[in-house]
């Protein structure tokens, strides 16, 4: 059995609700790196870049995929934790980020020679949506364009389990290394 398939089996042994809690507990900026790894594993021929920062124009990450016919540029907005539907809250923040993402071309470090127009927007939520938040997302955000897709916690749990299961062990691995005074440079493979 390969190390990756072993990690997948170990991750599946963690109750799904617990895996969801682990993902929901990450700070959004930490989740960006994990999502970059996940998406890179799911689509190995794609380019995924973290763009979060002062020049992000709404996008926390951008994914570029190409085939023989077109280039698809996806702006990705990431939120974690519980999201409610109150006015002037996180739904308004998501709405603003979607508008910015669709309105502004993006410059990536890996493709510095040209700006890219966003083809679609993915909203990835590692947390719980209240009914009011879900209704507002559906009515106010998802209607802005037919190219907006919402990926919730269930989707993230399923795909992290299958394509990047080590996300569920990050804290435990670091605790193990610290407890055993193991220099990371000497670490080759966890089995």
Q: What is the pLDDT of residue 186?
A: 45
What confidence tens digit (pLDDT) does each residue in 104-147 have?
A: 999 999 988 899 999 999 999 999 999 999 999 999 998 888 89
> What is the C-alpha to C-alpha distance for residues 161 and 124, in angstroms, rounded to an integer?
16
In the block, residue with structure tokens 């309105």:
103
* Domain annotation covers residue 16: no
Q: What is the pLDDT of residue 170?
A: 72
* Domain annotation covers residue 173: no
Q: What is the pLDDT of residue 145?
A: 84
Question: Which CATH number covers residue 56?
Answer: 3.40.91.30
At residue 55, does pLDDT exceed 90?
A: no
* Domain annotation covers residue 171: no
Burial class from Cβ neighbours inside 10 Å (0-12, 13-18, 19+) for residue 97 reads: buried
Give me the number of domains the chain comprises: 1
Residues 88-95 have a mean pLDDT of 89
DSSP 49-113: EE--STT-TT-SEEEEEE-SS-EEEEEEEEEES-B---TTSHHHHHHHHHHHHHHS-B--STTTT
Q: What is the pLDDT of residue 191?
A: 40
* Domain annotation covers residue 19: no
* Domain annotation covers residue 65: yes
* Percentage of the chain lying above the pLDDT 70 cut: 88
* Domain annotation covers residue 86: yes
Residues 72-94 have a mean pLDDT of 89
Q: What is the pLDDT of residue 106?
A: 94
The model's pTM: 0.86
Are 122 and 77 a contacting pair, CB within 8 Å? yes
At residue 172, does pLDDT exceed 80?
A: no
In the block, residue with structure tokens 């990050």:
170
* Domain annotation covers residue 20: no
Residues 75-94 have a mean pLDDT of 88
* Domain annotation covers residue 172: no
Which residue range forms the structural domain that includes residue 51? 26-153
Q: Which DSSP symbol is given to 25? A: H
Q: What is the pLDDT of residue 101?
A: 95
């Amino acid at each position: 059995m390969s190390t990756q398939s072993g990690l997948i089996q170990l991750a599946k042994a963690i109750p799904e609700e617990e895996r969801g809690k682990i993902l929901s507990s990450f700070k959004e900026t930490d989740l960006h790196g994990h999502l970059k790894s996940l998406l890179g594993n799911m689509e190995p021929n794609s380019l995924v870049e973290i763009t979060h920062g002062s020049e992000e124009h709404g996008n926390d990450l951008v994914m570029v995929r190409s085939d023989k016919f077109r280039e698809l540029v996806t702006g990705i907005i990431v939120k974690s934790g519980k999201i409610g539907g109150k006015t002037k809250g996180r739904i308004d923040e998501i709405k603003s980020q979607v508008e910015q993402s669709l309105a502004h071309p993006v410059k990536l470090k890996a493709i510095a020679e040209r700006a890219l127009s966003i083809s679609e927007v993915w909203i990835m939520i590692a947390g719980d949506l209240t009914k009011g938040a879900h209704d507002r997302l559906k009515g106010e955000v998802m209607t802005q364009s037919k190219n907006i897709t919402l990926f919730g916690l269930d989707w993230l749990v399923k795909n992290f389990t299958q394509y990047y299961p080590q996300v569920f062990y990050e804290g435990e691995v670091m605790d193990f290394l610290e407890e055993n005074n193991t220099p990371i440079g000497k670490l080759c493979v966890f089995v």
